Structure 1
Amino acid sequence: MVNLPKEVTIAEVCPRDGFQSLKETVPVDEKISFINGLMECGFKQIEVTSFVHPKAIPQLKDADEVLHRINRKNNVKLRALVPNLHGLERAIASNVDKVKLMLSASDSHSLSNANRKTMEAMAQFDSLVKRAKETTVKVSGSISVAFGCPYEGEIPVERHLAICKKYDELGIHDISLADTSGMANPVKVKRIIATLRDAYPHFNFSLHLHNTRGMAFANAVAGLKEGIVDFDSSVAGFGGCPYAPNASGNIATEDLVHGLEEMGIQTGIDLDRLIALGQELSKAYPQQADSFIQKAGKISDLHKSPTNQIKLVNE
């Protein structure tokens, strides 16, 4: 029997990945209130925003203001996505703790997302890493469409190995594997992670799973069995990539926390407080909500027995 970890770390990404998928503009005060609420749930890391050009994702044009106005907690690391050196400079000025670099496994998605091929995008990382070393900001990497590209299909594992080699040369060993279009399955997750961990045992790989085809929790369990203990998720299942067709939301944080806790794996997250936040968000933007726990409640939410009613009917 595979030994599962006793605890995992979940990074909340709704303020970035979730909000960027909304057509409606979320007022800055609403974002700040939501993030402040997340701070009280027990997350060790929150992906607050992305420092992309406002024309690319207008929803996140207030990134600087949001980071300056939220109520920071010393035990919560704040993370932001950065596409280039200018974005990094904005992140540094906003006092983020960690930045994640944007990268796609396939050239097609990279051209759509970053307007350059994968290795061309990686060539731009040298200056970002050099600049970050002058600060206290930590740099992590990512591999989007890691488990399948909506334009190219299957991503050869050799492609991942080549990308990780470049990350290794840059000194970046914290890598997020993203199922951007929900094309992963447990067998594929197991195969790719096992190969990468064997080749780069000093890397810390995390999983960023989308639930496009209902496979996300099964894929999370497959990751657990391969030693993954860091996951991204989004409250109420909000999320989606604007540069990938049909890339619907992330695995709902409520579902992930609830499922893991039921398996005896600790997350450190206050589930009831999290569910309450998800309910508020789902009411405000119902078209984006996709959480089983929001629909059905926790397993521990027992119902009143119908026994008495049956007796009355029989009488």
Structure 2
Amino acid sequence: MPPKEKLVVIIGPTSVGKTALSLTLAKRFHGEIISGDSMQVYRQMDIGTAKASEEEQRIVPHYMIDILEPDEEFSVAHFQAEASRLITEINQRGNIPFIVGGTGLYIQSVTHRYEFSEASQDSELRDRLQRLADLEGSEVLHKRLADFDPITAERLHPNDTKRLIRAIEIYEKTGMRMSDHQNRAATSPFDLVMIGLTMDRAKLYERINHRVDLMIEAGLIEEVRQLLDKGYDPALVSMQGLGYKELIPYLYGEITLEKAVNDIKQRTRHFAKRQLSWFRRMEEIQWFDLTDPNDYPQVIATITELLEGKFHQTPNI
């Protein structure tokens, strides 16, 4: 039986410090980084998605970044297929793949080989649900989904109309919930290490607020303006991303900049809370608290020792 492919996963809520840690560890263990963020696949959306900088991408190879235009289709099944291919290629080069990100479903679809529903599409049902969302808001779809599939409803944002419709469609067509369809392996097929980063909630929220301020200073408003000027529909899944959705009404003159920025901060804090709820259900994660900066060197040393023991590989110090 061939040896299992190696895989390291670094997850945690937004702003907790995943990028910095992943660069340090990937350099030490001949690593290559696969972005596990569902928004970083889109080109022209750099500031709001907090992509690794060009300099950081030169330090360590990065994948699943800038592979699609904002109006192109992308799904967890697409991510699963591409990430699985990359994991094999990186292992074949003798390196270690690191999946780094905060989209729990995307990452777990790879680590535990989810099998996704092939339920046929019903265009009439989709049109009817879309009209309902247009008339009453996508929140009505979210509430409807929560009635029969609270697990899927918890992971989907109330404004993610496209995925809400798909989840309802699967139930209407098959009588089964999307969460039932997403069968997963009991154990991971990989030689897997899952590292979870956490932090005192008050400090995490402070970091989130600061990051949003930095994004505004870095030109996020102009980034969103350029996307609109190029004709990208505000209803696109990509344009519903954190930082983009809230600035659109400001650019249309409907709200003040202060309200838009406060909305970004609030929505991002809520998102971080949902991320942590999802991650807490993933039993394989080994958690590390980054609340105290003085503990960081010891965290690095502990994880380095963990990976060295797991993969029998001497790190580059």
More helix by percentage? 2
TM-score by length of 2: 0.29
